[in-house]
Structure 1
Amino acid sequence: MTAVLLVEDDASLQRFVQLVCEDLALTLVCVDHVDAALQRLRAQSFELILSDLMLPQRHGLELLELLMQDPSLRAGARLAVFSAGLTPQVRSRLEALGITHLLSKPCGVKELQACLLGTTDTSTEPTVAEASTHQFAIDQHFGGNRSLYERFRASCVRQFPLDAQALREALAQCQATELRQRAHSLKSVVNSLGHPELGAYFRALEDGACAMPPDWQGLARIWAEAEPALLALR
């Protein structure tokens, strides 16, 4: 059975990839930072290594550069990146490292499946003029797979109260790094669920947390508008 190593600190996205891997009968191992990935690679070989870039402690690019420098550690695995920060400059750097797939967050099921299977996704973007929010997300991001969408959405809804509590604490304690990481994660999740208007709030929180210094009062006002909408999602 094909083994995939996912290096991703976002639990919701870990669940998303896990569900797709289950549908494809693939074995998935998840770790949430670079050092844990290196430890697993020293103990086990994988057919695919799929890594986020913005990770705690060490950047994902460090892992990819180490794998290129040490072929024995990579052991012939394909390399892929799963990130919301794929600027033209980043893409050029990744292509120079031999990355086979570049997945922008949020990505659709068909695109992720193509990456996991090592094939090319030739599907076109669906046009949905009058569909409901749920159906649009199913078609746009889940390849029409309603069951996968519903399972992922249910797992996210269970997680949202915990995310909201973490965001409240980050704002109360002026923890910019925690706020940025949590907002970055939620931005991708709600966009993939078909709520770009809510995703814009988390994008604003993420950007605001990167300011020097952050406008904590302004960020609290943004969160006051976003929190009820997040917790109302079902």
Structure 2
Amino acid sequence: MSDECHLCLLGLIFLSSLLTGTSGVDDAYVFISSGEDVRLLCNNALHDCTSTMWLYNRFRYSATVELIALGLKKTDTERHERLSLGPDCSLNIKNIAKEDYGYYSCRQYVNDKQQGTDTHVDLHVLHVSSSSSSSSQTEISAGRSVTLSCQLYSFAEVSCGDWICSERIELFWVNQAGVKLTRSDSRYQILSSSDHCIITLNTTLLNEDHNREWRCNVTQRDQVKSSVTYTVKSSGEKTSSSISYGRVC
């Protein structure tokens, strides 16, 4: 991490821990890669789900969107086809998109009265894109330069950079052997954004890069939370992006 992280204020630590799954009774912090499916737990669920509401905010004070109302899925949202309610009142989201990051709340209503406190889930999405194409499939031949951009889309009350510093979040690239790529390797140009929420990898493809993998990891306190693998198909074949979800139990 850059020395800039040492400038972070102690008062910016608003997340006590980052776990895949639940953290305590009222809050959960979930990291996932785009393209994966995710299950958000509702810790305050009652004996059935007819009292359950799932609400969504892109940011803490943005407009609230109803996803599930009294156990029934709302159909007036863009992603309603990807949503479902589990038997334990959890919210299931298929094929996560980078736009799905944000603040999710599970709330219970009985006879028009709220029961208990909300369960909150902060969903953070890791996404990799290539400068060669807007899609994950493009022709790349040996000798051509490729730039891969890995970004963590994150809900945070403070700036992304301050949150990353305070919670010891790190984005970095590794090769298919799991070795971390550094700026000292002359073959790669690796740059981080000023807020540390985006890290790019630029390299020129070689003939031996056929089927080579590069993986972007996001870690918290040196534990892998999620990762995205980008596989290169050279020699006029297609480049494909595959996803793997790393979780810590």
TM more than 0.5 = no
Rg larger for: 2
The TM-score, its normalising length taken from structure 2, stands at: 0.24
**Larger relative strand fraction:** 2
Bigger RCO (CA 8 Å, 6+ sep)? 2
The TM-score, its normalising length taken from structure 1, stands at: 0.25
**Larger relative helix fraction:** 1
